[in-house]
Chains A and B, each alone.
Chain A
Amino acid sequence: MSTVIWVPKDSAAVSIGANDVAQALENESKKRGLDVVVKRNGSRGMFFLEPLVEVETANGRVAYGPVDVSDVGSLFEAAFEKGGAHRLSLGLTEDIPYLKNQERLTFARAGLADPLDLDSYISNGGFEGLRKAIASAPQAVVAEVLESGLRGRGGAGFPAGIKWKTVLEAQADQKYVACNADEGDSGTFADRMVMEGDPFCLIEGMAIAGLASGATEGYVYIRSEYPDAIKVMGAAVVLARRAGWLGQNVGGSGKAFDIHIRRGAGAYICGEESSMLESLEGKRGLVRAKPPIPALKGLFGKPTVVNNVLTLASVPIILAKGAAFYKNFGMGRSRGTLAFQLAGNIKNGGLVEKAFGVTIRDLIETFGGGTLSGRPFRAAQIGGPLGAYVSADMLDLPMDYEALAAANAMVGHGGIVVFDDSVDMAEMARFAFEFCAIESCGKCTPCRVGAVRGKETMDKILAGDNVASNVALIEDLCELMTDGSLCAMGGLTPMPVMSALRLFPQDFDRAPNLAAE
């Protein structure tokens, strides 16, 4: 039998040469006349080890990484296709501590197989959740999701079951499921990993949401910055439809549900749910005022389940293994696991799925290995560009929605961007306003004007111009933006600004810039 070698085709792995490595492995094995098949899988999420090459052996999959094209010759000389020892040997993939010490529920299948291999999806537990949903009444499925404690993984943390229940109970001739795959936040790539690496899982989650809420059509709104995710999702939908998991008779249920893939067009604000709905309708992505909530008047004015990719991708395992199983992970009102994403200036960047309650320190130091630059840690931004910065003395906080909120921070989607001591936090505060000014939809004044004024005022502070009074102005402006903005864009921009100001006041204490005068 041929030896199977896996090389990820995840776009992050490809971004540092996975395609070239796969090609080189194929060429070299041919040259040596070896019976080797190079297959392409999704990423395991250990991006610091990419391109991560895995060899199937009698003992399990043996990993090598990070592999460069120049390593290919020596790998064959070490008989790596039989699991031979090499400088890049990492042992059995599943024993790599980074992976072994995780609690992979949503990402249980990440990197196991070809993402578009439907048979292997099914043999690895795929569609068990949907089968259960088909065999249950919609009310029972909604109750299960509610009972699991699953909260929106996109950042806001709203209980998914409550949204589903609202849509189920709404009376309408048409309902929709809209999947938010506009993962625009810096420090996040988990949605992309699901779509590129385990697309059927998202399709299954959406189909369950459809059956549970009475929606017959689903849309996945994928940002245009993710061309590979768009391709893989599109192909997966066709395959699922052909196999009868989508369409007029979902999995033999007698009920209809189908999925359309839609591309975004480079607007960050379209990650906000009502802006995304406008965009799905072919309009400018202007935020809608609430109420009415999307669960009652959403896409095309119809009741709509709007959930993030990870929320929907977590549903299959909840149905398959039961709410109690899922709920057993986590702490307080944060149940289950979160896909933490270690990013920025960090040695071991990648995806770490852990139960809520893991400390920030565990993630950054134990998993992440500290900064990549080797310089001392200074700050981390948690939960995206609208999330707060945390300082070194906050690292023992547990990752829990309520615990972080009590510390004036937020879990968000679990993205963590690490900065070393070279970061200028006043510059980061300025950037938060600049970003808001670029990406604001412009509908409400606090966000549209506040962001521009904030940036201008930060420029004055950076130049040492009337620092004390300008800092007071920033504080006042942040209060107004928090209270007066229509959505989280303007409402949360003060989070990074105020946390930087509160935790690193010395960075704002600028002397007048004499050269500029």
Chain B
Amino acid sequence: MLALFTLWGVSLLIFILFQALPGDAAISLLGSQAGNPEAVARMRSYLGLDRPAYIQYFVWLGGILQGDFGQSARFDQPVALLMLDKALNSVILLVGSAVIMFSVGIPLGVIAALREQGLFDRIGMAVVIVLGMVPVFWFGLVLVYIFALLLDVLPASRMYSFHESNRTMSVLIHLILPAFTTATISTTILARVIRSSMLETLEAPFMQALIARGIPARTRIWRHAFRNILPITVNVTGLQIGWLFSGAIFTEVIFSWPGIGRLIFDAVSARDIPVALGGILVVGAVFVLANLTADVATAVLDPRRREKM
């Protein structure tokens, strides 16, 4: 319910931004005819600009609900079509980043918690804190410098190379650096949350009881303790998926990854406002939905929370 309200608010916000734009869309579309007041009036009524703002809003919203995001100002193409193409590429990047986030963040957090104040914990957490502050755009360049320029082992831009026969393999190799760049900050957050909730769980009486019953450490940790921190892990993940999507904008620009972030950036630079706001609206919606999914999944995993809902 709240998520729906938020989505609606996001759409309203975007629409108000549209309205706040200086200049008249009719005049800019007409080009050489812009001096003719009759042509301007006709174009305005064709575009619906002569109607009151709230009517325009509902027409616009109705269009979006049917997948019509308007027309790009730069290309003679509907915004939805432009986005569809790029969205898939963004999803590939997102999945890659999520895989890294899980496979690094979870073990890091758990092991750090098991060796609290040990060497691994201290060094690991210091690195996590510094990396958590790193500007994404800068970190991407550092990775390019090390792995593409110094070591020359990984490609620094684009999604695949044309001369390679195996397209899937090529994409995977090209995915490594962008995915690590995108995943870094979220991985540090996940590792910190897992570490602190793991520490809390390890102190719990039921863990002591398991030790007393002679349950081996591995079972204790992964079957009992980890299961307890699963809800919070899922919750944080949901939030981070949204952040990954918005952080990807820097990654896609640096690595020339043809995703939706790159599309938004190009549109903003070229002042192609319909594309920019359409893209921002879609990513905003993904963000809200990811949060909602996380809340629901947490409730499913955690019986205590289910009762509260």
Q: Do chains A and B interact in one complex? A: no
Residues of chain A whose beta carbon lies under 8 Å from any beta carbon of chain B: none
